[in-house]
Structure 1
Amino acid sequence: MKPLLRSFVAIALLGGLAYSCEKDDDLWDWMIPETEDTATTGQVAGYVFHPAVVAATPQNISQLKVPEGFRVAPFATNLGKPRILVTSPAGHLYFSDREAGTVTLLHDADGNGAAEVKTVVANIRQAHGLAIHNGNMYIAAVRELYRAPINPDGSLGTATLLRNDLPDAGQHPNRTLAFGPDGRMYLSIGSTCNACAEPNPLNATMVVADADGNNMQVLAKGLRNTIGFGWQPQTGELWAMDHGIDWLGDNDQKEELNLLKQGGIYGWPYIYGEGKYNPQPRPQGDTTYQQYLSLTTLPTLLYDAHAAPMQMAFYGGTSFPADFQGDAFVAMRGSWNRSQPVGYKVVRVNFENGKPTAIQDFLTGFLVNNNRSVFGRPVGVAVHPDGSLLVSDDTGGVIYRVSRQ
């Protein structure tokens, strides 16, 4: 893309010609020069389409599809708006509900594949991110980070405030966190906007801190909104799914699977995809697009634009086939900024020798009525100690369990 753009820029500078092309059924008419010495122009067709919301009835749920040899069934229903999931070694499942400001415990005491126990264990305004580490539950809200001890029955003790100075949320309030193989805390802090130069250096980053929240520093930046991330079991490498920029058309910006490393720059808001230039905003100061591109680590894999990747979980259970070991599951909540819906499913990221090779459907069928309606939008994914996969839906208020038949 970059050499092509440079060529068109040179033509425009010499002959005053415009560059236009049709790409992926979107209307493009862009000329993006390296610097502000030449005018930047662009046109792209943008759409809004929200599928109608219908109930998660038994008939609709029966239309869900999983690969042969698997089955899917509700684990718990009537849950409000469950978001992030985390499981404990004891088999307790917790989910956050950001709108309600709660963390809830679910437990399948008799092992029949459905939860009988449902208890609110924490009330924290805008609670979202959850992680378990050394017998404690960590809870991330927009600006606050809490830690609470987990009691033997799965309930939580009194939550202690660790920090209350995380950046303001803006467009992306959904903080997520996890603990790495190094025992440190990793916290994703999204951007405040669709595409802008952030005044706060902590926005649009992945940060890392000690387990008590101290010594926080930026691990990687240029990440618009990285909700789902985790460590590949074979390599210990940190992989993450980032949300693409809106209003670039039906097929841009694609969602990105990135390998995150210390000091990495991942392009947002100036560079996206395979090295494309975002026409607005431009790189600041005297920096050219080419210079910023040279600093950018490009994604390893791309996925459907606007699919909205949410939580990610690597599979380390024993009940799925052996070739699932080390693969990742990602919840795709679904699009709104395109003419035809994409996402609304859970996908499997295939890894071979520790490296991602493909993304394929795993749990589908939430779109009904010829893709005009939806009864569920997946958000959370977690692997239960029994090896099943649990999936939260914050629209129908259901947590699903995918297991072997």
Structure 2
Amino acid sequence: MAWAAAGTVWAQDAPRTYPQDPDAVAAVKQNLKNVKLPPGFKVELYAMVPGARAIAVDPTTGTAYVGTRKNAVWVLHDDGNGKVSQVTEFAPASGFKDPNGVCFSPDGTLFVVELNRILSFTNPGSATPGEKVIVPQGQLIPVGDEAYNHGARVCRIGPDGKLYSTVGQHYNVLPPEKYEAYYKAGMGAIVRYNQDGSGREIYAHGIRNSVGMDFNPKDKTLWFTDNQTDTLGDDRPPGELDRATRAGEDFGYPFYGGGHDRTVEYKDKTPPEGVIFPQVNLPPHAADLGMSFYEGSSFPKKYVGGIFDAEHGSWVRKHPLGARIMFTRLKPDGTAAGTEVFAAGWLTSDGQYKGRPVDVEPMRDGSLLVSDDFASAVYRISYVGK
């Protein structure tokens, strides 16, 4: 019970309340003083949340739910003025295993995508939410391929009403002898289901490890980040921000390690026909993860219809890079116009991480939530004007 306050004894399967430790709160607030934003924006601590990863906001209540790579999903109880009064554990009896992915359907059903299982919860804000295992273990990926590395899934409900999930594969570069089996199994892909878990389809192939995706509300295309191959050098390959316009597209991995850079293992092999290359070549090894389209009304017009994404930060570069929030503008035709840094300062000038952003998710009031699994925190970015 590592997250219990001193002297606390948890009842078995009782929801835990995560204490907002004053010293931890003070340290995070001090770190936030170093975060730089465009004029008129401010960033504040929203809540301390252990191992905070993917964020989902209930469309019916505005309550935020936060996944982790441990065994808990957390609920952030907002008192109505942008302040969290309590952080409690969600559905502790569910036995979560790596419940990184959380997302909502428009009717308020919560989906939790784990390492190798998908659950749904109707009425998640009630004392007894309706829980169903809609994709049992072994039906998301083969049981023999369960691994922590690249095992964090994310999910979204598409404009077609289907549940989409990313499925990373656990190799740096997939061994050629495993390519055919992984292609057929949908490892290194995006898959989709009906909301009851039936009708599994592989929507997109050739994806190394995506931990962020969202649909453009204007043209219904699916955009996603993809973390690319390590060991090709500090400055290659680029990370990717990709756009899928239809089912069946292939985004090139493992023939391409990122962008147009070929992998050593597949340099003499012929890539699939019609490979889709990135809309944006992102900074190499910056680990861009969660992303969301911004459709709120409180940010300046420049940001409406664009993409925010969270850079977790590099681990293999000689000089660390990342720990930022990026913003990508779109052209009228729906393709990318350019990417810029929106928020930075969690990485110090001497290469020390003070925070590592994971996900970004707009709230109903137009502010932007940012999760950070290094600092175990969720931040709120708002626009206060000039």
TM superposition score normalised by structure 2: 0.84
1:7-18 paired onto structure 2 within 5 Å? none
Q: 1:403 is aligned with what amino acid?
A: S
Secondary structure of the residue aligned to 1:373 is: coil
Give the aligned partner of residue 121 of structure 2.
Answer: 148
The residue aligned with 1:68 is: 39
- Structure 2 match to 1:39: none
Look up the equivalent residue of 1:173 and give its one-letter code: G
1:239/1:57 CA distance change after superposition, 3 Å: closer
Alignment of 1:321-340 (within 5 A): 321-340=300-319
Q: How much has 1:156 moved relative to structure 2? A: 6.0
The residue number in structure 1 matching 2:77 is 107
Contact 1:346 1:361 in 2 (8 A): yes
- In the TM superposition, what is the alpha-carbon distance from 1:175 to its structure 2 partner? 1.1
- Cα pair 1:275 1:293 within 8 Å, conserved: no
| 268 and 156 in structure 1: CA distance in 2 versus 1, 3 angstrom threshold | farther
Percent identical among aligned pairs is 29
Q: Which structure is richer in relative contact order (CA contacts within 8 A, separation 6 or more)?
A: 1
Alignment of 1:82 onto 2:46: no
CA deviations over 1:6-65 (Å, ceiling 9, x no partner): xxxxxxxxxxxxxxxxxxxxxxxxxxxxxxxxxxxxxxxxxxxxxxxxx94433221111
Partner of 1:237: 221
1:126 aligns to what? 98
User: For residue 44 of structure 1, what is the aligned residue in structure 2?
Assistant: none
Do the aligned residues in 2 keep the contact of 1:222 with 1:266 (CA within 8 Å)? yes
Tell me the equivalent position of 2:67: 96
2:6 corresponds in structure 1 to none
Paired residues in the alignment total 340
Deviation at 1:155, TM superposition (A): 5.7
1:116 partner SS: strand
Q: CA deviation at 1:294?
A: 4.0
Q: Measure the CA separation in 1 of the matches of 2:200 and 2:128.
A: 25
Partner AA of 2:121 in structure 1: A
The AA in structure 1 aligned to 2:294 is Y
2:146 to 169, 172, 178: 169
Q: CA 1:56 to 1:253, structure 2 compared with 1: closer, same or farther past 3 Å?
A: farther
Looking at CA atoms only, which structure, 1 or 2, has the larger radius of gyration?
1
Aligned to 1:355: 335
**Aligned-residue offset at 1:226:** 1.0
Asked if structure 2 preserves the Cα contact closer than 8 Å seen for 1:331 and 1:379, the reply is yes
8 Å contact from structure 2 (residues 52, 373) kept in 1: yes
Contact 1:149/1:158 (8 A) holds in 2? yes
The runs of 5 or more residues in structure 2 that have no matched partner are 1-25
In the TM superposition, what is the alpha-carbon distance from 1:128 to its structure 2 partner?
1.2
User: Which AA in structure 2 matches 1:126?
Assistant: D
Please list the CA deviations of residues 310-342 of structure 1 after superposition, one character each: whole Å capped at 9, or x if unmatched.
111110111011221110110110001111111
Opposite residue 175 of structure 1, the aligned amino acid is: R
* CA distance, structure 1, for counterparts of residue 357 and residue 28 of structure 2: 16
Is 2:193 aligned against 1:220?
Answer: no
Checking the alignment, whether the CA contact within 8 Å between 2:225 and 2:288 is kept in structure 1 is yes
Paired residue secondary structure (1:97): coil
1:301, distance to aligned residue in structure 2 (A): 1.2
User: How far is 1:125 from its partner?
Assistant: 2.1
Q: Which amino acid aligns with 1:362?
A: F
- Is 2:256 aligned against 1:271? yes
The one of 109, 113, 119 aligned to 1:136 = 109
CA RMSD of aligned residues (A): 1.7
Cα separation, partners in 2 of 1:56 and 1:190, compared to 1, 3 Å: farther
Unpaired segments ≥5 residues, structure 1: 1-54, 283-287
